[in-house]
Amino acid sequence: MMKRLIDNLFSPDLEETLGEKLFFRFFELFLVVYMLVFVWDWAQYIPQIETVLLPLGIAGYVDVSFMFGNNLAFWNAGAITIAAALGVSRIVPGIAYWIAIALFHLQYVSRYSLGEISHGSNMIGVSILALAVAMSFFNNPTHRRRFTLGFIYFFVGLGYVTAAFAKLIGTGLNWPNGRHLWMWINERYIDSLSEFGLYELNFLQEMILGSVVVGTIVLLFGLIVEFCGFLMWFRKTRYYITPIIIAMHFGVLMTMNIAFNAFTLQLIFLALPWATFIDRAIARRPEMTAQRLPKALLARL
C-alpha cells in the first residue's frame, strides 16, 4: 500500500515530459506571485496593530509585537520578494525558499494576531514549504518537481480529510443539520448588511432557508467531499475529486459569501492534467516549440 501511495504521489518510475516541466514552472510562478500578493497586502495592515491577542505559530514563543507600529512589515515583504526571486531564478533555491517560508510565517502570525484567522493563505504556505524541502534535498530537477507536486497533493488531501474529522469532533454527527446552515447564512447576512448596508439573498440561500432538508443535503455533500480528500493522492481519482472540491468551494461562496480565492485558483492548477494538454499541443506543433523555447531556456526549467 505504501509503495502504491508513493508511486501515485511522486511517479518515480515515469519519464518526465516537456509538458510537465512547463506546467511546473507556471505553477511555481503562480505560488510565488500569490505569496507576494499576500505579504504586501498584510504589510499595509500590520503597522496598525497594537498588541497580540491571539498568538499563532511562532508568536506563541516569540513576541511579534516588534512588527507593530513601524515599517518592519514592509521590509519583511521586501525580503520575501528578494528570496522568492532567488528561488524562482534557481540561484540559491534551497536557502531562498526556506527564508521565504520563514518570513512568510512571521508576516502571517503578525497580521492575524487579533483573533481573526485566515485560511486562504495556508495552502500557498504549504506549497512554498514543499518547494523549500524539494530544492534542499534533491539535486535532480525531475525529482524536485515530482516531490513538490506529490507533497502538495498529499497535504492538501490530508487537510480536507482532517477538516471533516474536526467538524465531527467539534459538533458530532449532527454537524450536517440544515439548521446549522440557516444560522451561518443569517450570520453572514448580518455581517454583510452591517458592512455594506444592503444584502440580497441569492436563489440557493432562499432554497436552503426554505427547507431544512435542502440545507442538510448541502452540508452533507460538503462533509462527504472533504472526507474524500484523500482521493487526491491517487492518479486515477485525482482529476475527479479535485473538480468536485472546487464545486464545494463555489457552494460555500454561494451559501455563505465566503470566497477561498487562493484555494480555488490553486485547486484549478491541480484539478486537470495540464501537463498532458501541453504535451498534446507541443506534439501538434513541434516546430513552434523548438523556435519559442530554445535549449538555453529549456535547461533552466
Across the chain, which has 301 residues, the per-10-residue mean pLDDT values are: 88 87 95 96 94 90 93 97 96 95 96 83 94 95 95 96 94 91 84 72 89 94 96 94 95 87 92 91 70 57 63
Q: Which three cell numbers stand for residue 233?
A: 493522492
> CB neighbours (10 Å) of residue 47?
15
Nearest-angstrom CA–CA distance, 11 and 17: 12
* H helix or E strand, kind and range, residue 227: helix 212-227
Predicted local distance difference test score (pLDDT) of residue 188? 78
Q: What is the pLDDT of residue 14?
A: 84
Rg (CA), the chain: 22
pLDDT of residue 84: 97
Write down the mean pLDDT value for the chain.
90
Position 299 scores a pLDDT of 56
Q: Within 10 A of 218 (CB to CB), how many other CB atoms are there?
A: 21
Contacts of 188 (CB under 8 A, 6+ apart): 256, 257, 258
pTM of the model: 0.90
Q: What is the pLDDT of residue 81?
A: 98
